[in-house]
Amino acid sequence: MTGRRAFLGNSTTETLAAVLREQPKGPSEVTPDLPRDLERVILRCLQKDADRRFQHMADVKVELQEIKEESDSQPVAAQAPARRHRRWWLAAALAGALLLVVAVWPWWRPREIELGPPRLVPLTSMSGFERSPTFSPDGDQVAFTWDGEKGHNQDIYLKMIGFSQIRRLTTDPAEDAAPSWSPDGRQIAFVRRRLEGATIHLVSPLGGSDRKVSDFPAAAWGQLSWSSDGRFLAAEREASGDATTDAGGIYLVPLAGGEGRRIAQVKAPGRAKAPAFSPDGRRLAYAVCYSQFDPTPCDVQLVELGDDALPKGPPRRVTPRAVLTIGSLTWTRDGSAVVFDSEQAAFLRYLWRVDVKGDRAPDRIELAGPGGTPATARSRNRLAFYTGPI
């Protein structure tokens, strides 16, 4: 609760906080006494990745037969036959179990290990404004924006969860904002704001120089999201000065170069903003706000995606009724819901969760308290956000 106390005590300070819900780690081996070759076969049968499992039971039979033949061919002492006999009975029994596991795996999934209660912990407690967190793919690091100790230059910083040290990634005099970590963990995309407009850039989490992706005119206060294959960034395009003729929209910006392709747009004077790919990359969620200026009613909409991340049909509204001024949004780890921030009082936002089925009103995440710019981890049960005023 440290982050929230800092907010209540000083209305000019923002900090980052996270809700953590951890899953206990299990043993790395099947059993210590199991022969190594047999353990290898079992672990391969239990692989979550279908491409790494045995594809046919005949393959399992061949592996077990080879283990038996190697065991029978080894020189043994006088008492070894009985011991070898017991070991082969163990292998035969386990082979039967493996047949069942491999046969029913496509339909059966083990129950989730019970998670511990969620905990609210501060990630940062520095002076100034810290917001827009984004998790590394393993969920152990967070990149975010901070305007520095003197509050004069907003840049991208990185922090390992559980450690106090932070590392600065960008140093440009312009404002760097809205970081988004790539699925492979090698790059962080962000928006660089200048007086002449905003552009999208990439920087390595290890540091070094950044590079501009293209001349795509990104929205200065927009959000970025990576496609699951790392080929595209979903970004809001800055609207032209005449909002009655051009309301911008959400575009796919190719990382390999080329023109962006519009995949979502609303009629003026509305605005499509805050795009976020689902964890499996097959859907895109975004906010539709019905005015260019805050506060304004907004909805969360969702569109199914096909090849090359292009829409397969019209968007679908998942908020049963409009909410007030959505700033940014993200998906839950399992892809069943969208988390977004919404203005509920003067200069205060709160986090909400809405099911993508669209049949229930959003639920407020009470544990988080006032906050915004939510981000979730792809591989951990973690939610990060800023605590403080808008």
Q: Identify any residues that bridge with 304 across adjacent strands, giving them in sequence order.
A: 283
Range of the domain at 97: 36-104
Mean pLDDT of 64-85: 54
Sign of CA dihedral 177, 206, 216, 275: negative
**Boundary residue ending a domain (44, 73, 104):** 104
Mean pLDDT of 72-80: 50
Residues 151 and 298 reside in one and the same domain: yes
Residues 56 and 169 reside in one and the same domain: no
Per mean pLDDT, which of 11-20, 173-182, 288-297, 347-356 is the most reliable?
A: 173-182
Mean pLDDT of 248-267: 91
pLDDT the model gives residue 54 = 58
Express each pLDDT in 293-310 by its tens digit. Answer: 778 899 999 999 998 888
Q: What is the 3-state secondary structure (H, E, C) of the chain?
A: CHHHHHHHHCCCCCEEEEEECCCCCCCCCCCCCCCHHHHHHHHHHCCCCHHHCCCCHHHHHHHHHHHHHHHHHCCCCCCHHHHHHHHHHHHHHHHHHHHHHHHHCCCCCCCCCCCCCCEEEECCCCCCCEEEEEECCCCCEEEEEECCCCCCCCEEEEEECCCCCEEECCCCCCEEEEEEECCCCCCEEEEEEECCEEEEEEECCCCCCCEECCCCCECCCCCEEECCCCCEEEEEECCCCCCCCCCCEEEEEECCCCCCEEEECCCCCCEEEEEEECCCCCEEEEEEECCCCCCCEEEEEEEEECHHHCECCCCEECCCCCEECEEEEEECCCCCEEEEEEEEECCEEEEEEEECCCCCCCEECHHHCECEEEEECCCCCEEEEEECCC
Express each pLDDT in 179-192 by its tens digit. Answer: 999 999 999 999 99
Which of 1-15, 158-172, 319-333, 335-349 has the least mean pLDDT? 1-15
pLDDT the model gives residue 126 = 87
Express each pLDDT in 15-55 by its tens digit. Answer: 888 888 765 443 333 334 456 666 566 656 545 455 555 55
Q: Which two tokens stand for residue 93?
A: 């029994």
Residues 303 and 355 reside in one and the same domain: yes
Inter-residue contact 202 to 248 (CB < 8 Å): no
Q: pLDDT category, 280, cuts 50, 70, 90?
A: very high
- Residue in the structure block whose two tokens are 């082969």: 88
Any domain includes 68: yes
Residues 71 and 165 reside in one and the same domain: no
pLDDT the model gives residue 161 = 92
Residues 20 and 40 reside in one and the same domain: no
Any domain includes 75: yes
End-to-end CA distance of the chain: 19
Tell the burial category of 29 from Cβ atoms under 10 Å away from its Cβ (0-12, 13-18, 19+). exposed
pLDDT the model gives residue 82 = 45
Q: What is the CATH number of the domain that holds 323?
A: 2.120.10.30
User: With 50 as the cut, is the pLDDT of residue 204 above it?
Assistant: yes
**Boundary residue ending a domain (49, 76, 104):** 104
Q: pLDDT category, 147, cuts 50, 70, 90?
A: very high
Residues 216 and 339 reside in one and the same domain: yes
Residues 216 and 97 reside in one and the same domain: no
- Residue in the structure block whose two tokens are 């019970």: 114
**Boundary residue ending a domain (45, 71, 104):** 104
* Distance separating alpha carbons of residues 377 and 390, to the nearest angstrom: 23
Residues 19 and 62 reside in one and the same domain: no
Inter-residue contact 271 to 249 (CB < 8 Å): no
Which of 76-85, 276-285, 321-330 has the least mean pLDDT? 76-85
pLDDT the model gives residue 348 = 85
Task: With CA atoms as reference, report the closest residue to 265 among 240, 291, 236.
Answer: 236
pLDDT the model gives residue 159 = 95
Any domain includes 117: no
Residue that wins the pLDDT comparison between 353 and 25: 353
Residues 130 and 20 reside in one and the same domain: yes
Any domain includes 114: no
Express each pLDDT in 213-229 by its tens digit. Answer: 999 999 999 999 999 99
Q: pLDDT category, 248, cuts 50, 70, 90?
A: confident
Residues 329 and 382 reside in one and the same domain: yes
pTM, entire model: 0.73
pLDDT the model gives residue 3 = 35
Residue that wins the pLDDT comparison between 11 and 340: 340
Task: Round the average pLDDT of the chain to a whole number and report it.
Answer: 79
Residue that wins the pLDDT comparison between 30 and 163: 163
pLDDT the model gives residue 49 = 53
Cα angle 114, 115, 119; round to 5: 160
State the pairing for strand pair 155-160/166-168.
antiparallel
Inter-residue contact 353 to 331 (CB < 8 Å): no
Sign of CA dihedral 362, 368, 370, 373: negative
Residues 70 and 200 reside in one and the same domain: no
Any domain includes 277: yes
Could you give the C-alpha distances from 211 to 187, 188, 194, 208, in angstroms and in order? 11, 11, 15, 10
Any domain includes 164: yes
Any domain includes 67: yes
Sign of CA dihedral 115, 119, 125, 130: positive
Total domain count for the chain?
2
Residues 12 and 43 reside in one and the same domain: no
pLDDT the model gives residue 28 = 33
* Distance separating alpha carbons of residues 245 and 185, to the nearest angstrom: 39
Any domain includes 83: yes
Q: Give the Cβ contact number of residue 295 at 10 Å.
A: 13
Share of the chain above pLDDT 70, in %: 69
Q: pLDDT category, 345, cuts 50, 70, 90?
A: low
- The residue type of 241 is G
